[in-house]
Amino acid sequence: MTITINNKEVWANPGETILTVAQREGVHIPTLCYLKNLTPTGSCRICVVEVEGQRSLVPSCAFPVAEGMKIQTNSPQVRRARKTIVELLIANHPQDCLVCVRNGNCELQKLAEQYEVRDHRYQGERRKAKIDLASPSIERDPEKCILCGRCVRVCHEVQNVGAIDFVRRGFHSTVAPAMDGSLNTIACVFCGQCVVVCPVGALREKGSQKGVWEAINNPQKHVVAQIAPAVRVALGEEFGMEPGSIVTGKITAALRRLGVDRVFDTNFGADLTIIEEAHELLHRVNHKGVLPLLSSCSPGWVKYVEHFYPDLLPHVSTCKSPHEMEGAMIKSYYAQKVGIDPKDVFVVSIMPCIAKKFESQRPELADEYQDVDAVLTTRELARMIKAAGIDFAKLSEENFDDPMGESTGAAAIFGTSGGVLEAALRSAHYYLTGKDMDQIEFSSVRGLAGVREATVTINGLTLRVAAVSGLKNVDKFLEGIRTGDSPYHFIEVMACPNGCINGGGQPIPSDPEKVRKRIESLYAIDRSLPKRASHHNESIIKLYKEFLGEPNGHKAHELLHTEFTERGVE
Q: Which of 9, 52, 113, 364 is catalytic?
A: 364
Q: Which of 295, 500, 510, 521 is catalytic?
A: 500
Question: What are the DSSP calls for 492-547, one per residue?
Answer: EEESSTTSGGG-TTS-SS--HHHHHHHHHHHHHHHHHSS--SGGG-HHHHHHIIII
Residue 149 amino acid letter: G
How far apart CA 118 and CA 218 sit, in angstroms, is 46
How many other C-beta atoms are found inside a 10 Å radius of the C-beta of residue 487? 11
Neighbouring residues of 1: CB distance < 8 A, sequence distance ≥ 6: 11, 12, 13, 14, 65, 66, 67, 68
Q: Which of 135, 296, 317, 407 is catalytic?
A: 317
Q: Which of 107, 139, 276, 280 is catalytic?
A: 280
Q: Which of 206, 320, 356, 514 is catalytic?
A: 356
How far apart CA 166 and CA 175 sit, in angstroms, is 4
> How do beta strands 345-351 and 374-377 pair?
parallel
- Examine residue 509 and say whether the peptide bond preceding it is cis (omega within 30 degrees of 0): yes
- Whether the CB-CB separation of 552 and 272 falls below 8 Å is answered with no
For the question of residue 317 being annotated catalytic, the response is: yes
For the question of residue 356 being annotated catalytic, the response is: yes
For the question of residue 297 being annotated catalytic, the response is: yes
Neighbouring residues of 145: CB distance < 8 A, sequence distance ≥ 6: 174, 175, 200, 202
For the question of residue 364 being annotated catalytic, the response is: yes
Tabulate helix, strand, coil % of the chain (nearest 5): 45, 15, 45
Q: Which of 276, 359, 380, 422 is catalytic?
A: 359
How far apart CA 80 and CA 5 sit, in angstroms, is 19
Q: Which of 205, 277, 324, 422 is catalytic?
A: 277
Q: What angle do CA 260, 350, 546 make, to 5 degrees?
A: 75
304, 316, 336, 496: which is closest to 403 by C-alpha? 336
Residue 400 CB burial class (10 angstroms; 0-12, 13-18, ≥19): buried
Supply the residues annotated as catalytic: 277, 280, 297, 317, 356, 359, 364, 500
